[in-house]
Amino acid sequence: MTTAKYNIKPAKGKLGVMLVGLGAVTTTFIAGVEMIRKGLKKPIGCQAWMGTARLGSRTENRFVKLGELVPLCGPEDMVFAAWDIFSDNAYEAALKAGVLSHDDLLQVKEELSALKPLEGAFDKGFVKNLDGNHVKSGNRRQLAEALRADIREFKKSVDRVVVVWAASTEIYCEPTGIHGSIDAFEKALDADDKKISPSLLYSYAALMENVPFANGAPNLTVDAPAMVELAGKNRVPISGKDFKTGQTLMKTIIAPGIKNRLLGISGWFSTNILGNRDGEVLDDPESFKSKEVSKAGVLDTICSKETFPELYGDLYHKIRINYYPPRGDSKEGWDNIDIFGWLDYPMQIKINFLCRDSILAAPIVADLAVFMDLAARAGFKGIQEWLSFFYKSPQTADGVYAEHDLHIQKIKFKNTLRHMAGEELITHLGLEYYETE
């Protein structure tokens, strides 16, 4: 392995993963890591612990595990902490979430029961359908300081820390003046400005403690300009937003294929039912709006109206999420795609995806923890666009459009790892194309 390019620090010692929210996604992630450590399960869906990369030219036939290309934290070296606004330990929370079977949970009951959440920083104004009873008190400045103290305390027991937000989706917020700069944000913090959401308090606390922050939900968090500035100033990696799972994952797999064949799309209707707590939170129109905006952007860049007005100029994209308690975490999504081809002849594609949201999200939490830690050890700072692969609504630098095509995102992700390791980038341009002349 060569790490000369960036002088990446080794992944030595323990990585502390601090999770905001101890709900369906995070308990499924933690239980999974515990089972993997015990050799009971494989890390299916996880790039860091299963993924490979081809190196050099095709004739070399050189494939390595990603962990052989760059130094990555393994499952055995992760330590967990979490905040939640309910006091259930991880075992109780996992039972309530109802994602994993009782039999599976029993195998890691001891480890999960030992994980008790720290009190969360909460404001019901941002998540209307929840009433937490395990919450910190104080004004916003005091809450931010309390979160910073939590991080410092956890740091004492591990070698490095990353924070991943997987708490409930907050209401939709446009950035305003208080989000515009560190200075404005800190003044608003001191004034206990009600426009500062809890997720901003967590991200501020993490960045002030030089801890990378990944945002798994669609709310305005590390994408607020003040946080981008803070991440740059303190040289900390940030990334977001909204784990790419379920229907949007399908969309970013299928839409590029339709576009690559230059087929037109006149309409794409997506609807789904889900019955977990996430669904309950999204039943509030203001939280749903955050999700809707995050999901809707996906087709805009893959099927660009500007580049292909004749194919996508009239594309009607509609997304519905319906809270339906009987389904629990077992979501069902339907997509109807009206496409057209040669001579405008119409065709239809129907997708019926019976997915398990948290099963798709859990390996993403693992990957984000591992790769955000890698970014920090490589000295990367600010927005980590190469991690777009994992997000529904990838955070980009100002003025740069977000790449949504899963296949392009994957190339960018792996090429970044090759680049970090000082390996040649893979462009799929083999010598054979030139030698036929």
Ligand X SMILES: NC(=O)c1ccc[n+]([C@@H]2O[C@H](COP(=O)([O-])OP(=O)(O)OC[C@H]3O[C@@H](n4cnc5c(N)ncnc54)[C@H](O)[C@@H]3O)[C@@H](O)[C@H]2O)c1
In the chain, the amino acid numbered 42 is K
Among candidate residues 377, 376, 412, 373, the one with its CA nearest the CA of residue 391: 412
| Shortest reach from residue 196's CB to ligand X, in Å | 12
Separation of CA 351 from chain center: 24
The residue (of 29 and 312) whose beta carbon lies closer to ligand X is 29
Q: What torsion, rounded to 10 degrees, do the Cα atoms 218, 221, 225, 227 define? A: -150
Q: Is 86 in the site for ligand X (CB under 6 A)?
A: yes
Q: Is 239 in the site for ligand X (CB under 6 A)?
A: no
Cα separations in angstroms, 74 against 117, 368, 380 = 23, 13, 20
Render the burial of 128-167: b for 16+ CB within 10 Å, e for the rest: ebbebebbbeeebbebbbbbbebbeebbeebebbbbbbbb
The residue (of 24 and 230) whose beta carbon lies closer to ligand X is 24
CA atoms within 13 A on the CB side of 252: 28
Question: What tokens does 270 get?
Answer: 């997506």
Q: Which long-range contacts (CB under 8 A, 24 or more apart) does 249-253 make?
A: 249/360, 249/406, 250/333, 250/335, 250/351, 250/353, 251/298, 251/299, 251/335, 252/298, 252/302, 252/404, 252/405, 252/406, 252/409, 253/406
In the chain, the amino acid numbered 288 is F
| Shortest reach from residue 98's CB to ligand X, in Å | 10
Strand 264-274 to strand 78-84: parallel, antiparallel, or no bridges (unpaired)?
A: unpaired
Q: Candidates 32, 71, 216, 394: give the one binding ligand X (CB under 6 A).
A: 216
Task: Kindly write out the interface string for residues 3-32 of this chain, putting x where it contacts ligand X by CB under 6 A and - elsewhere.
Answer: -----------------xxxxxx-------
Q: Is 358 in the site for ligand X (CB under 6 A)?
A: yes
Residues 89, 31: contact at Cβ < 8 Å?
no
The residue (of 9 and 128) whose beta carbon lies closer to ligand X is 128
The residue (of 71 and 117) whose beta carbon lies closer to ligand X is 117
Q: Is 367 in the site for ligand X (CB under 6 A)?
A: no
Q: Is 94 in the site for ligand X (CB under 6 A)?
A: no
Instruction: Find the part of the chain contacting ligand X (CB under 6 A) among 34-42, 64-72, 80-88, 206-214.
Output: 80-88
The residue (of 245 and 416) whose beta carbon lies closer to ligand X is 245
Three-class DSSP category at 223: coil
Interaction residues for ligand X, span 95-114 (CB under 6 A): 97
| Shortest reach from residue 84's CB to ligand X, in Å | 4
Residues found in the chain:
437
Asked, as a colleague might, if the bond just before 350 is cis with ω within 30 of 0, I would say no
Q: Is 278 in the site for ligand X (CB under 6 A)?
A: yes
Q: Candidates 140, 160, 277, 418: give the one binding ligand X (CB under 6 A).
A: 277
Chain position carrying tokens 């890698």: 374
Interaction residues for ligand X, span 35-74 (CB under 6 A): none
Task: Kindly write out the interface string for residues 295-324 of this chain, putting x where it contacts ligand X by CB under 6 A and - elsewhere.
Answer: ------------------------------
Instruction: Find the part of the chain contacting ligand X (CB under 6 A) among 116-124, 297-305, 333-341, 429-437.
Output: 116-124
| Shortest reach from residue 415's CB to ligand X, in Å | 25
Q: Candidates 203, 270, 272, 276: give the one binding ligand X (CB under 6 A).
A: 276
Q: How many residues bind ligand X (CB under 6 A)?
A: 34
CA distance 130 to 149: 25
The residue (of 199 and 416) whose beta carbon lies closer to ligand X is 199
The residue (of 118 and 315) whose beta carbon lies closer to ligand X is 118
* Contacts with 308 (C-beta within 8 Å, 6 or more apart), sequence order: 259, 262
Q: Is 357 in the site for ligand X (CB under 6 A)?
A: yes
In the complex, which residues of this chain contact ligand X (CB under 6 A)?
A: 20-25, 83-86, 97, 120-122, 127, 130, 166-169, 198, 216-217, 242-243, 245-246, 276-278, 357-358, 360-361
